[in-house]
Structures are given as C-alpha cells and as structure tokens.
Amino acid sequence: MKTIKIKMKKILSRITAWTLTLALILTLIPAMTITVSADTPTGTFDLSTGLWSAGDDAINKATWNNSILTVNDGANIAVTGTVTGSQRIVVTTGATASITFDNVSISYPAGGSVPLSLNSGANLTLTLKGQNTITANNSAGIRTTGATLTIEGDVLN
C-alpha cells in the first residue's frame, strides 16, 4: 500500500509540474486579436458595372440607381472603374464617410452636374490609390456645398 501512495505522489507531482509549466508557457504567449481597421473598406463598387465586390447597398451604406452612387452616413467604401456619361457620386447631407478611389476615371460630359458632389454638412475622406481622373464639362469635377473634404493617399510622380 505504501508503494502505491509513493507512486501516486510522484504522478500527482508530475501532473502538477506539467500543469504549472503549461500555465507559464501560455502566459508568455501574447494574446492574438484580429481586428479590421476602420480604414478597410466594407466593399468595392465598380462604376463600370454597377456591382459590389462584397456585400450590398445596405451593408456598404451606399445605394446605386443606375447612374448615381449615393453615399450615406457611416459608409467606408472603395470605388473602381472607368465611366463616361451620367454616372456620378453624391455624398448625402450631413454624412460622414470614407471613399477610396482605386484607379477611377469619371468623365462627365453633361453640363450642370459634377462627378463627385458633397452635400451640406458632409464630411468625406477621399483616399486616392493608383491613378485617378475626374473631368467635367462646364462644371467643377468636385463640388462641395458647406462640406468638408479631406484628400489622402498615394502620390504618383
């Protein structure tokens, strides 16, 4: 009986040592947290096709009606594509949003409207990635009416 007690003590001692060793190792490993940056767009909209690469209008907080991409409060989207015609982007009144232009070309030949319009009180951060061009006939390429526009991004030489 004494031999069994000694063996049990050795086994319990080893289990305790291994448990403490494992606990020590686990405390030395940094906790891993996966986060999505606030700068990461929720989806990419292609002006040429009128389609989202991920999500839909509700998820991306923007709507498309075959010619106007309306960007609402809280939107954080990327836009791609080359268009000539009546396609344009409008940021709604009072909206705070982020748009990344990724090799966008918007040529708006029609008079009166602009390719990128920020309504009153809008606050837009426009990030430029790649080569982007906005042109308009007889109007500004970007129009703000009491809005704030911050432009960031790549600088091409």
Task: Give the pLDDT means over successive 10-residue stretches in the chain (157 positions).
Answer: 65 74 61 48 90 82 91 94 90 96 87 86 95 87 92 73
85 contacts 75 by C-beta, under 8 angstroms:
no
**pLDDT number for residue 137:** 82
- Predicted TM-score (pTM) of the model is 0.72
The DSSP element (H or E) to which 17 belongs, if any, is helix 2-28
**pLDDT number for residue 36:** 38
117 contacts 134 by C-beta, under 8 angstroms:
no
The answer to whether the Cα torsion of 21, 22, 23, 29 is positive or negative is positive
Whole-number Å distance between alpha carbons of 39 and 49 = 24
